[in-house]
Chains A and B, each alone.
Chain A
Amino acid sequence: MTHERLVTMIRQATKDVFATMLGIELEDHPEYLGVTAPGPSEGVLAIVGLAGAWAGSGSFSCSALMAQKISGQLLMQEYSAIDDDVLDAIGEVTNMVLGNVKTVLEEELGPMGLSIPTVIYGRNFTTRNVGKSQWTVVPFQCIGEVVEVHLCLEPGKELSAKISVAQQQVPAILTMLG
């Protein structure tokens, strides 16, 4: 699964969710590959886990003010602070975005599970993942601010073992052919 394919899936799913559920048209910002777990140091961050032949994590992040705006659009009421409604709304937006990415991924990678979202709100926090996974980071311009969707996906243990065996067999096959 390439970074470019993931970017295409994330862009489509995120724009679809925002246009359909929030009435917000997102604009693209340049995507990039992050070598450590990306994310803001403050604001709202929602994370879901993906599991299957490929596994990983996905997240959505935005400022506290943007979280209030998004929740207001979703629930048709104004929010002046981060409360349970706002955290729940951002969790659900994340669930919809990455759930739709998962549906497209399943066509190529087989069945996957999606965890219940975990939503974090605070200031001066750090996120990181164990290991050296690369993250596909897809930012969008959203009502004057930037929001980001992050996705890290790697072959699961079983698939990794098969790939490892296959990689070990390639030199042997090449030697036989040589």
Chain B
Amino acid sequence: MSAPATGPLRPDLMDPRTLAALGRLEVISRWLVDGVLNGLHRSPKKGFSVEFAEHRAYQPGDDLRLMDWKVAARADKWLIKQYEEETNLRATIVLDVSKSMDWASAPTLLTKRQYAEQVVAALSLLLLRQRDAVGLIRFDDQIRSAIKPASRQLQFTRLVAALGESGGGPASDAGSALRQAAQAVKRRGMVVLVSDLLLDPQDVDDAVRVLRAQGHDVAVLHILDPAERSFELGVGESLFVDTEGGESLAATPAEVREAYVETVAEAMAEWRARLSASGAVYEPILTTEPFGVPLRRAFARRQRLP
């Protein structure tokens, strides 16, 4: 998708390839976050000071320090002040950097990993600007790197540096990564899994259930190359080889496209159903979609946090 022909450019709505060509990851992320924040009607930021929320009737045993004495003096009503809890979110982003993520269906497209890193960087920056704590766990068949959640300004630099590290293992062990994320987030927080979900669903599901049981908000961003969705590969009869498992299958895209598309749709529906049942949010994202889309979704979810 390209930016509108008129008006100021919104980085979050720019074509990912165009935006990626502009510069380093952290620069891109700042642009993106600025775009997202500019596009919102209302800031979701809250909780940096003690803010009054509502009154309720006094119940015996309530802390008298919370009594609204002014109302009691004025109206002879005993009301207890309730305040919104000042909560800095602790988020951990779990990024799949397995070999399957290092794939793009065309040279002109970002690989799923490149796209995911842009999303992770932008999301991290967005959270940090809200003074939330953000951590990162990168995994393939093992944990490649783990940065505990922190809200310091240096945290973004560390995250960006970590995103530049290697990966590309032959498999994905999302379960252990998610479990490690649960350990990293002691308090209730948010865990965002960014992956192409070429994983063992049961493994992921088990881990998500554990996270949800611990009270964490879980979101799964399913990164998809467009060709993985449509099987539009522009090739004829070919031998298709799995990038991780080494399995292969001879097929003609034109002949199996319909069945493939149906299968992918079914798989995505299964992921959505499975994760919804576990209380997690599932969002499929194509690597050709503007970055703003996942950020906006993530931010909207942040607003819904308790």
Partners in one complex: no
Residues of A within 8 A of B (CB): none
Residues of B within 8 A of A (CB): none
